[in-house]
C-alpha cells in the first residue's frame, strides 16, 4: 500500500523525478507499460511543490525518499539534459532506476539499454545500438544500427539518428533533427530542431540549419 493505493502483484511502483508537464507525459507513458505503475513524483528544487499533488499523486522532496529504497524504482522525467545531480541524489538514497520502454516501441534484441533509459511511443532502436543511462528517446525517435547514445542525452520527438553514429553525453537533439551516418556528436552539444548534421560536431557547441552550422562558440564541456 502507498497512500491508500494498493499496487497489484508483480507490479513495480515507480517514482518520477520531476513534477512538471513532461513528468505528467512520462506518467502517461509508464501507464501503458505492463509491470510498472507511477505512484508519485519527486521534487529537488522547490520544496513548496511537495505541498501539492501532480496528476493526483503525491510529490515527495528528494531528501525524504530513502524509505522507498528496495521497494520502488525511479525514472527521470526532466526534459533538460541537466539531470546528473538529481539522479545522483536518488541513487545515494538507495533507489534503483527503471528502464521504461513503451509497448509501441521497437527495440532490437541486440540493442543494449542501460538503467534509467526512457523509450517513448513509436521509437525504433536498431541492431547493435547502445543507449546509456538516463537517456531520453522521445516520441517517434529513430535510432539506426550500431549507434551509441551517451548518458543523459535527450532526443526530442522525431529525431533520426543514422547508423554508426555517436551522440555524446548530455547532448540535446532537437525535434525532427537528422544526424547522418558515421557522425560523432560531442558531449554537451545542442542540435537545433529540424537541423541536418552532416559532419562531426565538437563537444559543447550549438548547431542549427541544413546543413547544420555552428551558431555559438564552443562552451566548456
CB 129 within 8 A of CB 148: yes
Res 190: pLDDT: 96
Q: Is 145 a catalytic residue?
A: yes
Strands 100-101, 118-119: pairing kind: parallel
60, 102, 134, 145: which one is catalytic? Answer: 145
Band of residue 216 on the pLDDT scale cut at 50, 70, 90: low
The mean pLDDT of the chain is 92
pLDDT tens digit sequence for 12-40 = 999 999 988 899 999 999 999 999 999 99
The answer to whether domain 12-97 and domain 100-214 are alike in fold is: no
Which sign does the torsion angle of CA 134, 34, 107, 195 carry? negative
Tell me 44's DSSP state.
S
DSSP β-ladder status, 12-17 and 36-43 = parallel
Yes or no: say if 188 and 206 are a contact pair by the CB < 8 Å rule. no
Among 202, 147, 149, CA closest to 173:
149
Query: What pLDDT is recorded for position 81?
Result: 74
pLDDT of residue 7: 53
Q: Give the CATH fold of the 12-97 domain.
A: Rossmann fold (3.40.50)
CB-based contact 185:197 (threshold 8 Å): yes
pLDDT for 131 equals: 98
Amino acid 218: pLDDT: 57
Q: pTM to 2 decimals? A: 0.91
- Write down the domain spans for the chain: 12-97, 100-214
Instruction: Give the pLDDT score at 219.
Output: 56
For residue 208 the three cell numbers come to 542549427
pLDDT digits (tens, 9 = 90+) for 51-98: 988 888 999 999 999 999 999 999 999 877 778 999 999 999 999 999
Fold classified for 100-214: UDP N-Acetylglucosamine Acyltransferase; domain 1 (2.160.10)
Amino acid at each position: 500500500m502507498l497512500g491508500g493505493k494498493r499496487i497489484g502483484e508483480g507490479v513495480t511502483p515507480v517514482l518520477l523525478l520531476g513534477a512538471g508537464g513532461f513528468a505528467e507525459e512520462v506518467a502517461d507513458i509508464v501507464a501503458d507499460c505492463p509491470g510498472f505503475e507511477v505512484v508519485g513524483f519527486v521534487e529537488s528544487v522547490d520544496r513548496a511543490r511537495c505541498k501539492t499533488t501532480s496528476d493526483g499523486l503525491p510529490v515527495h522532496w528528494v531528501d525524504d525518499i530513502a524509505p522507498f529504497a528496495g521497494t520502488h524504482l525511479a525514472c527521470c522525467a526532466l526534459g533538460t539534459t541537466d539531470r546528473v545531480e538529481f539522479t545522483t541524489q536518488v541513487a545515494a538514497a538507495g533507489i534503483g532506476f527503471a528502464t521504461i520502454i513503451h509497448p509501441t516501441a521497437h527495440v532490437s534484441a541486440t540493442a543494449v539499454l542501460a538503467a534509467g533509459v526512457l523509450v517513448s511511443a513509436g521509437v525504433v532502436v536498431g541492431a547493435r545500438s547502445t543507449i546509456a543511462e538516463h537517456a531520453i528517446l522521445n516520441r517517434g525517435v529513430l535510432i539506426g544500427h550500431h549507434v551509441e547514445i551517451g548518458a543523459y542525452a535527450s532526443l526530442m520527438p522525431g529525431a533520426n539518428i543514422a547508423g554508426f553514429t555517436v551522440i555524446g553525453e548530455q547532448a540535446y537533439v532537437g525535434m525532427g533533427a537528422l544526424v547522418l551516418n558515421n557522425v560523432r556528436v560531442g558531449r554537451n552539444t545542442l542540435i537545433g530542431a529540424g537541423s541536418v548534421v552532416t559532419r562531426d560536431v565538437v563537444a559543447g557547441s550549438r548547431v542549427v540549419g541544413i546543413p547544420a552550422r555552428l551558431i555559438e562558440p564552443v562552451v566548456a564541456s
